[in-house]
Amino acid sequence: MAHHQIVIIGGGNAGISTAAQLLRKNRALDIAIVDPADKHYYQPAWTLVGGGAFDIQKTVRSEASVMPKGVTWIKEKATGFAPEQNQVNLESGPLTYDYLIVCPGIQLNWGAIKGLPETLGKNNVCSNYSFESAPYTFKCLRNFKGGTALFHNPSTPVKCGGAPHKIMYLAADYFRKHGMLDKADIQYWSGAAKLFAVPKYEKTLLQVVKRGNIKLNLMYNLTEIDGPNKRATFVGFGEDNKDEVREVSFDMIHVTPPQSAPDFVRNSTLVNSAGWVDVDKGTLQHVRHANIFSLGDAAGLPISKTGAAIRKQAPVVVQNLLDMMAGRQPSANYMGYTSCPLVTGYGKLVLAEFDYDNTPMETFPFDQSKERWTMYQLKREVLPRMYWGAILKGMA
Ligand SMILES: Cc1cc2nc3c(=O)[nH]c(=O)nc-3n(C[C@H](O)[C@H](O)[C@H](O)COP(=O)(O)OP(=O)(O)OC[C@H]3O[C@@H](n4cnc5c(N)ncnc54)[C@H](O)[C@@H]3O)c2cc1C
């Protein structure tokens, strides 16, 4: 049976940056990354791709090219866990470890919306949530000649809580620039109770909503899409709209699929009652298995799941893992930092940064709730370079 000192499940944003940081601390560590993927994606830019403001080809590289030197890459799918035996099951058989880091990201449950898999990428039904479908969003914007444009956000946790509405603000700005805003009926249908959790940033977003004449419909789930007939069905679940069924005709719809931890994680003993990896929210150590850590989208942390959060989580996992290996108690603590670069139009962005309590934790010495051109440039020009050039190399 193969054995490695540290096994990392998932070579995405979290897995690669954590492995790279560990190796910077100690070149001699024996680390294996399990991931079957050929490609590695910079997903945060898909919002701009959908708005026609970023080249999709710049969001993908081969997985081989981002694998840190010195890591053993096991190009396979993990299928389950046997934590009592310090064992992960792969398609080809078991693999054992001294320490395990679980970060296989989030699962997109497209099939949970009836009719969606058949119509995605056709009939003006688009989504920025995959490499394949994001460019079609911009085609839908360009094809729009007025009518009803729907934007949807499910009631499950999603990666980047801002992404379902950022594309709506870009769309409104696109329609305005092309003289179509007056002819557009833009509607947001969301499974959340609020537009955005942090009042300081929500205040600005509500002004952006007003500017685009956008109608907000909160506490609804999208249950079905009939692509050919361009009809979407929403069902309410709030106090005032419980079980209310609303059928809405559309000229275009942007869908965010319901999301969960991957099935092989959800069906394991590693999860909390909500189905995410059950870690301590400060140390990121598993609450029942001291030699297991988790970070990134699959971790059961009460925050918006973002790459920006991973940038603050990875050093905590690295420090606490090295502490454990040296026989010390975990010493690093994650405060719940996350960030959402809220694109509010072409050349406009509100950089939301906050912690577990939704208290702003801002980087810059100015009011970050204001829309700024400089912050848009940060997202479009600086962050992608920082991702490929520094974050994945364990340097940021
Ligand atoms: C449209 C969109 C906009 C976004 N905008 C932003 C933004 O503006 N700012 C921001 O910070 N974040 C943003 N994000 C979120 C960010 O991309 C994710 O939070 C981040 O990629 C999560 O990293 P991860 O390593 O947990 O998962 P991922 O990067 O998704 O990687 C998961 C890896 O696990 C592998 N894997 C899956 N199943 C298995 C298995 N069974 N066995 C082994 N390996 C497996 C996959 O192949 C993949 O390589 C956005 C995401 C999207 C989709």
d(CA 125, CA 36) in angstroms, rounded, equals: 29
pLDDT tens, the chain, 396 aa long: 899 999 999 999 999 999 999 999 999 999 999 999 999 999 999 999 999 999 999 999 999 999 999 999 999 999 999 999 999 999 999 999 999 999 999 999 999 999 999 999 999 999 999 999 999 999 999 999 999 999 999 999 999 999 999 999 999 999 999 999 999 999 999 999 999 999 999 999 999 999 999 999 999 999 999 999 999 999 999 999 999 999 999 999 999 999 999 999 999 999 999 999 999 999 999 999 999 999 999 999 999 999 999 999 999 999 999 999 999 999 999 999 999 999 999 999 999 999 999 999 999 999 999 999 999 999 999 999 999 999 999 999
Atom of ligand 1 nearest to the CA of 307: 11
Atom of ligand 1 nearest to the CA of 297: 26
Mutate to test the pocket of ligand 1, among 34, 35, 43, 170 (most ligand atoms within 8 A of CB): 43
CA of 109 to the centre of ligand 1 (A): 14
d(CA 246, CA 370) in angstroms, rounded, equals: 35
Q: What 3-state class would DSSP assign to 68?
A: coil
Residues with Cβ within 8 Å of 296's Cβ and at least 6 positions away in sequence, in order, are 10, 12, 13, 14, 15, 103, 105, 305, 310, 313
Is the CB of residue 50 below 6 angstroms from any atom belonging to ligand 1? Answer: no
Is the CB of residue 294 below 6 angstroms from any atom belonging to ligand 1? Answer: no
Q: Which residue's CA is minimally distant from atom 15 of ligand 1? A: 306
Q: Do 2-106+261-336 and 125-259 fold alike per CATH?
A: yes
CA of 105 to the centre of ligand 1 (A): 5
Kindly list the distances between the CA atom of residue 31 and the CA atoms of 80, 197, 243, in Å, as whole numbers in the listed order. Answer: 19, 38, 50
CA of 106 to the centre of ligand 1 (A): 7
Is the CB of residue 160 below 6 angstroms from any atom belonging to ligand 1? Answer: yes
Record: fold of 125-259: FAD/NAD(P)-binding domain (3.50.50)
Record: fold of 2-106+261-336: FAD/NAD(P)-binding domain (3.50.50)
Does the annotation mark 340 as catalytic?
yes
What angle separates helix 13-25 from helix 307-325, to the nearest 10 degrees?
40
Q: What are the contacts of 135-139 at 24+ separation with CB within 8 A?
A: 135/49, 135/50, 135/56, 137/49, 137/50, 137/51, 137/167, 137/254, 138/49, 138/50, 138/51, 138/52
Which H or E run includes 251? Answer: none
Is the CB of residue 306 below 6 angstroms from any atom belonging to ligand 1? Answer: yes
Beta bridge partners of 169: none
CA of 59 to the centre of ligand 1 (A): 12
Is the CB of residue 341 below 6 angstroms from any atom belonging to ligand 1? Answer: yes
Is the CB of residue 68 below 6 angstroms from any atom belonging to ligand 1? Answer: no
Beta bridge partners of 72: 32
d(CA 151, CA 131) in angstroms, rounded, equals: 19
Could you state, in order of their start, the residue ranges of all structural domains in the chain? 2-106+261-336, 125-259
What pLDDT is stored for residue 1 in this prediction? 82
CA of 34 to the centre of ligand 1 (A): 15
